[in-house]
Amino acid sequence: MKSNILKIGQKKILDVGATLREADIHGKILYVSDPIVDTLYGHIVRPQIESVGQIKVDTVEQNTIRYAMSVAERVIATDVECIVGMGGGRVLDVCKYAAFIAKKPFLSIPTTMANDGIASPIAVLKREDNKPKSLGCAMPSMLILDTELIATCPPALIKAGIGDTISNYMALKDWDLAVSRGKEVMNGYAYMMSKTSLDALMKTQYDSITPEFLDVLANSLVLSGIAMDFAGSSRPVSGSEHLFSHALDYYCDTQNLHGFNVALGTIAILKLIGEDYTEALHYLRKFEVDINPVHMGIDEDTFVYCMQNATAMRNNRYTYLHEVDLNTAVLQRLYRDLLTEL
């Protein structure tokens, strides 16, 4: 049984039971959340699950590979038929990976929109040394995005999502370069999906975070996820700005949301290679996405180091950072310019 059910809009949280029935789910259903989200919305979701099958409950304590494997083990060992995960990226990535390992359907209910991981075939989980690792898995087989509910989450967890979508701009430029240098192949359909995801946001008529705007953002983030799934890699939505972000994950003492890191990377690298970044920056400003490095706790040395070491963060991803001058003095000047501009 394979389903691809997608529901985006206001009050869609009320469709959990109907969605499970549509997908012909019954038997044991593992409901996974975190204490805060469960307190807020558990009373809405739990009865809907109970109307379909036998509910089992888990609370995500940590987003480690080890923990996700333990959830998968529970699913396999106790014959759970489906996982329903509700929460932010930590909960959903644990569920996504556990469902993939256990080969069971997964209904994902994001309560934030902080990145395009909400619909991607990739889970980011922590290794034993607490560093993040991106793991290939499968798209959620069912996805419910209640834009009215998400509108009440902390604004940073929406602004970061805006940042992650803007990063498609740099990612596509890097992909074009890699193809022109014969380093990578093009997937025209995945390219178009990523570009459409970006354009939908850049050309949106909305200039504040309303449920209507969240509808546009939700569609963009999901489309970015589909582009990854279609391409079989994160290439359509991840270029040099993501390499820079991965370096920050490793080397920066202050940990920022992924979406802010990649948005900073996008503007910084566009400026570094002499490309026009005014449109992207204007858009970020419109939604008050603050990517000033000082506000993000990124000092000059860390910024320079992460730019210089970004390409080492993963193999087989050719970008402008492989060709541009990464001389320390050049990057220091870039950092100082960004402090005044951003």
Q: Which is nearer to Zn ion, 144 or 221 (CB)?
A: 221
In the complex, least distance from residue 196 CB atom to Zn ion, rounded to whole angstroms: 17
The span of 16-24, 99-107, 156-164, 331-339 binding Zn ion (CB under 5 A) equals 156-164
Torsion of CA 91, 252, 237, 153, to 10 degrees: 40
The span of 138-146, 158-166, 180-188, 315-323 binding Zn ion (CB under 5 A) equals 158-166
In the complex, least distance from residue 263 CB atom to Zn ion, rounded to whole angstroms: 10
Q: Is 253 exposed, middle or buried (0-12, 13-18, 19+ CB in 10 A)?
A: exposed
Range 12-51, binding Zn ion (CB under 5 A): none
For 295-298, the CB contacts below 8 A with 24+ separation are 296/254, 296/256, 296/260, 296/261, 296/264, 297/252, 297/253, 297/254, 297/256, 298/248, 298/252, 298/254, 298/256, 298/264
Instruction: Spell out, one character per residue from 208 to 247, where the chain touches Zn ion: x when CB under 5 A holds, - when not.
Output: ----------------------------------------
Q: Which is nearer to Zn ion, 45 or 216 (CB)?
A: 216
Contact indicator for 23, 2 with CB cutoff of 8 Å: no
Instruction: Report the distance separating Cα 260 and Cα 104, nearest Å.
Output: 33
The span of 56-64, 77-85, 160-168, 213-221 binding Zn ion (CB under 5 A) equals 160-168
Number of chain residues interacting with Zn ion (CB under 5 A): 1
Residue from 34, 93, 164, 174 that binds Zn ion (CB under 5 A)? Answer: 164
3-state secondary structure of 134: strand
Would you tell me which residues interact with Zn ion (CB under 5 A)? 164
